[in-house]
Chains A and B, each alone.
Chain A
Amino acid sequence: MADSTITTQGVILYDRWPGFATAPPIDNIQDMTSSVVGHNQATPKYNVGTKWVLYNDTKASDVGVKCWRGWSTFVYLKSAADISTAIAGSVNFFCVPDDTIVPTSENDALYTVVADTDRTTHETLGLVACAISTMTDGYFGWFWCGGVAPLQYVPGMLVASVFQTDDSLYSPSTVTALTPVATTATEIGLMAAATGGQTQIIGEAVYADGA
């Protein structure tokens, strides 16, 4: 497929991870990539799969330019052991469960994610989340999985930042839904939902990619 990109405002994610997102148990969170909230830590500060919601006020003073107000959902996951090789798990890269999940996989395998499609067979899974910083191999941290792009809480995610796509996103009245897909660069990108409804819809585009 032809690779393309879409800027952060163009994507609204539908959260598909198990469980219910709640308000964080700590006040005045400014940065979801800080160690204070347990991001990129060798020992998990929260249970994997924990989900938080935060509201982006997105005043111009917060991020320099306008971006969407509204809720973002984050999920606490573990970067795979080899996440820093090949396609690294870094900010604005989508990730899915690592390797190939089987009945005897480790009990946290569902939450161990990778950004490189050469290292997973789950590129089209609904359990997809976007890295919000560079992750250390085997470390735990927060990933964006629902709502608007969390620009207010992620220093490396900007209005002009882009996500990888296949140049198929958004056509008024015909195409709006998103599914994850392997790009030619072995990254996990976003594409228009396949016809026939056999892939998971994980969000929607509100304007076209490649513009």
Chain B
Amino acid sequence: MAATLTLEALILIPRWPGVAVPPPIPVTDITSAGAGHNLALAMWPVGTRWELYCSGDQVSVGVSYRQGFTDVVYLQAGPDAASATASVRTVICVPDETIAAADANDLLYVMASDEDVSTHENSGLMAIALSTMTNNYYGWYWCGGVYPVEYVASAVVADTFITDDSLVAGTAVAPSAGTETIDMRANPTDSQCPETGITLIGDGA
């Protein structure tokens, strides 16, 4: 059964290759073209990761929110991003289609938000879209730390993500196939899938 939870309650554990570094440019809105977001041509190598600090102040969004570091990764929206379950802000994304040996060298970084078009719904290589993405365009996705409210122009503290109504405070979570979408659920006790975060409060409240 699907439920939702505010993104303030989710802390992501990044599983993407490499390490996050401070951006080489000033960043106020990670979903702006200036940062290379939602562009036909990649401004940064796919898999690039940046670390930003969220002040948690009321100044930017009107209310307080989580203070601390956030980690974003540069990925490519899949060819189906705008169809079926669209790749819009706050949806959970994983590698598109089915990855196989000798695939194109960037396929690991091409994302889908529709569980019908991916067989990697429970991959540790997950990230959350920060805006509506155009098919095949490149942009930034949230993959670690606190929700980057401060750096996403359209984000609000009330933003939610989809869960399976299994989450309580302090739950280790992993992505999984939901109804059309990819949701976040408690990692089963016998899990053979990577944990990708923790929740601070329960869902469905």
Q: Given that A67-B105, A69-B109, A206-B99 are known contacts, is A177 also in contact with B124, CB under 8 Å in the complex?
A: yes
B19 and A9 form a contact (CB under 8 A): no
Docked complex Cα distance between A177 and B105 (Å): 22
Docked complex Cα distance between A21 and B99 (Å): 27
- Chain A stretch 1-54: residues in CB contact (< 8 A) with chain B: 7, 9-10, 12, 14, 20-22, 53
Docked complex Cα distance between A53 and B19 (Å): 8
CB of A73 within 8 A of chain B? Answer: yes
CB of A103 within 8 A of chain B? Answer: no
Chain A binding surface SS class: loop
Docked complex Cα distance between A82 and B99 (Å): 39
Q: Which residues of B contact A153 (CB under 8 A)?
A: none
A55 CB, nearest partner CB in chain B, Å:
6
Q: Which residues of A contact B191 (CB under 8 A)?
A: 177, 193, 195, 197
A69 and B99 form a contact (CB under 8 A): no
Docked complex Cα distance between A178 and B101 (Å): 17
A71 and B101 form a contact (CB under 8 A): no
Docked complex Cα distance between A175 and B82 (Å): 29
- Chain B stretch 6-31: residues in CB contact (< 8 A) with chain A: 15-19
A68 and B105 form a contact (CB under 8 A): yes
Docked complex Cα distance between A72 and B108 (Å): 14
B174 CB, nearest partner CB in chain A, Å:
9
A177 and B192 form a contact (CB under 8 A): yes
Residues of B within 8 A of A (CB): 15-19, 45-47, 49, 95, 98-106, 108-109, 119-125, 176-177, 189-195
